[in-house]
Structure 1
Amino acid sequence: MVFKDSLSGQVLYKQYVKHETNKLYLAGIEEISRRGIKVQSIICDGRKGLFSLFEDVTIQMCNFHQVAIIRRYLTKRPKMQASKELWEVTQLLARTDRESFEGGLNAWYLKWTDFLNEKKMGIDGKNRYIHKKLRSAYNSLKNNMPWLFTWYDNIGLEIPNTTNAIDGMFSDLKNKLRNHNGLSMARKIRFIDEFFKV
């Protein structure tokens, strides 16, 4: 788990973990703060429950991760017209401002509300939504909206709208480790420690 300063590019904190958890994220931020570093904002991938952990810190959800979430629901080449249009709106996310994106999403919703709310009775006699994945995609954008344009609302803080800087470091590390295939675990750890140099 790695925490990196987006302005200086410096790695602030690193920890070896089996799985990422919100508790570990909280511990990482607390450790950085304990070291006297003021955390002005957090750019994260939008894990469930993470936003509510940091009520006193400005949070930006990575736009790239949000687009990836929508792609999982709709695919890159949706077949239904409503899905195609929502995918087009989603692709504007990293290239526009809050007002334009919200306007586009609201216009899409007004156009497709009836379609989105279509239900069908199942064999158990219960009415269920027909277009569940489309509804989930729309709800993801709507529910995450407060954190998608933090960079825009706080332009003076120079907050990136993606986690690309740290994702790029991990890609570089993976490539370098692949070139040194066969390292023992102890040597891998030494290699990683040197790579991140905290």
Structure 2
Amino acid sequence: MRKIKCPYCGFDCIKYGKIRIGSQRWRCRECHQVFTKPYDHTNSDFRLFLQWLFSKNVQKDMPGAGRNFRRKTVKFWELWPLPPKVETQRSIVFIDGIHLGRKACILICCDEKHVLGWYVCRAERAQAWEALMNRIATPKVVVSDGGTGFRKALKKVWPKAKLQRCIFHASQQVKRYTTTRPKTLAGAELYGLSNDLFKVNSTDAALNWVRRLTDWKIKHKAFLDEVSYDEYGKPRLKHERLLKAEQSLIVLIKSGTLFTYLDETLDFDCSSTNNRIEGGINAQLRAMLRYH
């Protein structure tokens, strides 16, 4: 049986009858104080709060338009959970930032099963990334979408970690320049090349993909070098958006971050995308904001 301690002196208590409404009364053996132990509703209220938070239910549909619910759960809005310090090295971690507003951003780091840390900031900057990464042991591989300031923080905090640029975001960056319906042959071929990134599953396939990108550059060199003139007679590259799309891929190839997941020295299966954090965590946060 669980022993009841006196709230005044801390010694053991004995049963001392019951009050009129039926609650048990207790008497301290040491200081002889008599009291009743109030029932703590914190656990049940917290379960009620979490059940609402992770559901689609809205407060206006609750009895009394949610007034009783707000009275019970108001204390939990003041809680500010702090992330733990992770000292065990992970093989692979996923890092991403989700913008909740104009000046509100959450940086999140997770492994294949759990969230390792988070940091609330105004924007994705190197200092904010450092604050998040300093509390987590250096992993072997980091999968990132290339957020602002992340590369600078990576070199400073996790210099020995290998970086894998999410190929989905790399493909999306090309699509922003070419659109899904390119009007030129060069644009259509480059858009197709970016989609073929998802089919690269070996070192030979990666070399073949890089070779195809080089052939595309040679084939359309005259087209890409075309120049137009503005109203002031100043020359400007006519297909600047295509060149930017191609350059975004060239930068990743030269930095060695596009095909890190094919590195034969890794003793584990490395993911090529950031889907673990995008679909498993960020999507849930966005859904929570929509519902509530």
Say if 2:117 is the partner of 1:5: no
Partners of 1:118 and 1:26 in 2: how far apart? 43
Counterpart among 137, 141, 163 of residue 59 in structure 1: 163
Aligned residue number for residue 93 of structure 1: 197
Q: Deviations over 1:83-133 (max 9, x none)?
A: 000001110112114212201111111111111111123333332100011
Shift of 1:10: 1.4
Say if 2:164 is the partner of 1:164: no
Q: Relative to structure 1, is the Cα distance of residues 98 and 53 closer, same or farther in structure 2, using a 3 angstrom cutoff?
A: farther
| Aligned partner letter, 2:221 | T
Counterpart among 172, 182, 186 of residue 82 in structure 1: 186
| Aligned partner letter, 1:51 | R
CA contact (8 A) 1:51 1:59 kept: no
Q: Report the structure, 1 or 2, having the larger helix content.
A: 1
- Count of aligned pairs: 174
Shift of 1:176: 3.9
Q: Relative to structure 1, is the Cα distance of residues 164 and 90 closer, same or farther in structure 2, using a 3 angstrom cutoff?
A: same
Say if 2:246 is the partner of 1:125: no
Partners of 1:156 and 1:106 in 2: how far apart? 31
Counterpart among 142, 164, 175 of residue 287 in structure 2: 175
| Aligned partner letter, 1:47 | G
Pick 1 or 2: higher relative contact order, CA cutoff 8 A, min separation 6. 1
Between the aligned residues of both structures, percent identity stands at 28
- SS state of the match for residue 134, structure 2? helix
Partners of 1:116 and 1:152 in 2: how far apart? 31
Partners of 1:128 and 1:156 in 2: how far apart? 48
Partners of 2:226 and 2:148 in 1: how far apart? 28
Say if 2:221 is the partner of 1:113: yes
| Aligned partner letter, 1:11 | V
Partners of 1:117 and 1:24 in 2: how far apart? 40
CA contact (8 A) 1:44 1:163 kept: yes
Say if 2:258 is the partner of 1:148: yes
- SS state of the match for residue 148, structure 1? coil
- SS state of the match for residue 43, structure 1? strand
TM-score, length of structure 1 as denominator length? 0.80
| Aligned partner letter, 2:270 | I
Counterpart among 172, 177, 202 of residue 68 in structure 1: 172
TM-score, length of structure 2 as denominator length? 0.56
Instruction: After superposing the two structures, state which structure 1 stretch, 169-178 or 95-104, moved more.
Output: 169-178
- State the structure with more CA Rg: 2
Provide structure 2 residue ranges, at least 5 long, that are not aligned to the other structure.
Answer: 1-106
Aligned residue number for residue 19 of structure 2: none
Aligned residue number for residue 46 of structure 1: 146
Partners of 1:14 and 1:48 in 2: how far apart? 16
Aligned residue number for residue 16 of structure 1: 120
Aligned residue number for residue 212 of structure 2: 104
Shift of 1:76: 0.7
Say if 2:131 is the partner of 1:27: yes
Shift of 1:157: 4.1
- SS state of the match for residue 178, structure 1? helix
